[in-house]
Structure 1
Amino acid sequence: MLEKILLLFCLSSALAENLCRPDASNGYKVRLSIKRALGDEAYVWNQDEMFLFRATLAFAMRNHLSGQDFQVSNILVCDETPRVSFWFIVTSPLDATRPVGKEDVEEAIRKSRSRINSAFLLTDQTLEFIGIIPTLAAPVSPDTPPWLIVFGVVMGSVGAGIIVLLVYPVVHKRLKKDEEEEELEEEEGEEETRRVKTMENGAAGDGAHNLSFTDDERFTQM
């Protein structure tokens, strides 16, 4: 009986291992760029780091599918390369030969993406789950609706245009009046200048004497 149990266990393990292969229907490729992300502080990827990856993924599956006891053994890894890339597949805690659906795996990774990234000091760009688009942060909703902002800008522009149309004739009239007053002052100034010159010329004529009518003997003596 014990031999049958061990045989079934070995067969189950072998079947589970065969599930993980490149381009598997329920598999995913992971690519890490540790050197690019951390530079001189980059750590060496080894089996301890791989164990941490499988553990964080098991945590993500537990967090998403509550009540299901995912273990590290449910995260199968294969086709690992020195440049740190590999494939993984998630199996069911109830049946090691049955892969978990892609929808659940993808949703679990999206929900725990920040926890997975922080475990390896990486980002969405340096810890890539090929084919799983990370969930973007929800866009910030402004307190004022965009349509109301546009409406306010349009109404402000219309109001400014009305004000310009009302103020421009007044300003134009005022400027024209000022120009007319300046021209009038210039004309008055020129007229005053001519009057002064005329008066000066007249005064000079009044001061001239006819020597033929003088009483001075020097001028009357023949």
Structure 2
Amino acid sequence: MLAEVLLLLCLSSAWSDQGCSPDATDGNKVRISLKAALGDQAYDWDKNEMFLFRATLAYAMRNHFTDLEFEVNNIVVCNETSRVSFWFVVTSPQGDAVIGKSVVEEAVSKSRGRINSAFLLTDQTLDFVDIIPTLQAPFSHKTEPWLIAFGVVMGLVALGVVYLLGSSLIQNRRLKKKNPMDEGLKVDIEEDEDEDTPGRRRQSSAASDGYYNATLKDDERFTKM
């Protein structure tokens, strides 16, 4: 009985190694650059980090298949190198069948942000080869760019109109301040002319009176004769 169990374990291990290989149709390669990402604070990649990676992959698969409960042992890793690169395949929790590569890619892309944050890495330093980086909703502007440009242009035009109106009002006020002084000067001149007019009248009246008096004297002289 013990021999049969050992034989089954060996066959299972051999099958897993065969299913996970660089030549596997459904295999996926991962390259991790800790030094490039963290510099002097880079941590060592060990068995615990690999366990965490397999756990995050199991989470990504669970997140993609809500009706299937993937476990860590469903993430099979092989061909690991010291430069932190390896291959992995995902097996189904309902049997030994390998999950298709395209399905794994979709699951990884959906949870890429969570996987990256678990290792303090990015899409570039935690590289799933041939898997599209984090799926994000296409960015859409809340306001169309042409509306923004139109608003800027209209704002500049409005500022120009306000400036012109304001400058014209200021000029009009300045002119109004200058005009009362000119009017005051005109009033003074008119007053001076008015003051001179009675004198002139008196002179003219005096002259006319003198002429009149001379005539009267002549009349009186002739009358006496």
State the TM-score bracket (shorter-chain normalisation): 0.5 to 0.7
Q: 2:76 maps to what in 1?
A: 76
* Structure 1: distance between partners of 2:126 and 2:81: 15
CA deviation after TM superposition for structure 1 residue 115, in Å: 1.0
* Structure 2: distance between partners of 1:150 and 1:39: 43
User: Match for 1:56: what amino acid?
Assistant: T
- Unaligned 5+ residue runs, structure 1? 157-162, 164-222
Cα distance change, pair 77–148 in 1 and its aligned pair in 2 (3 A): same
- Unaligned 5+ residue runs, structure 2? 156-160, 162-225
Cα distance change, pair 5–91 in 1 and its aligned pair in 2 (3 A): same
Aligned CA RMSD, in angstroms, stands at 2.9
Corresponding residue SS for 1:77: strand
Q: 1:58 maps to what in 2?
A: 58
User: Match for 2:32: what amino acid?
Assistant: L
Q: 1:129 maps to what in 2?
A: 128
1:8-42 C-alpha deviation (Å, 9 max, x unpaired): 45423321221111132101110000011111111
Q: 1:11 maps to what in 2?
A: 11
Q: 1:30 maps to what in 2?
A: 30
User: Match for 1:75: what amino acid?
Assistant: I
User: Match for 1:78: what amino acid?
Assistant: C
CA deviation after TM superposition for structure 1 residue 66, in Å: 1.3
Q: Which has the higher helix share?
A: 2
Q: 1:193 maps to what in 2?
A: none
Does structure 1 conserve the Cα–Cα contact (< 8 Å) formed by 2:113 and 2:134?
Answer: no
CA deviation after TM superposition for structure 1 residue 89, in Å: 0.8
CA deviation after TM superposition for structure 1 residue 73, in Å: 1.1
Corresponding residue SS for 1:70: coil
Tell me the matched-pair count.
162
Percent of residue pairs bearing the same amino acid type? 65
Bigger radius of gyration, 1 or 2?
A: 2
Q: Normalised by the size of structure 1, how large is the TM-score?
A: 0.62
Cα distance change, pair 136–71 in 1 and its aligned pair in 2 (3 A): closer
Q: 2:85 maps to what in 1?
A: 85
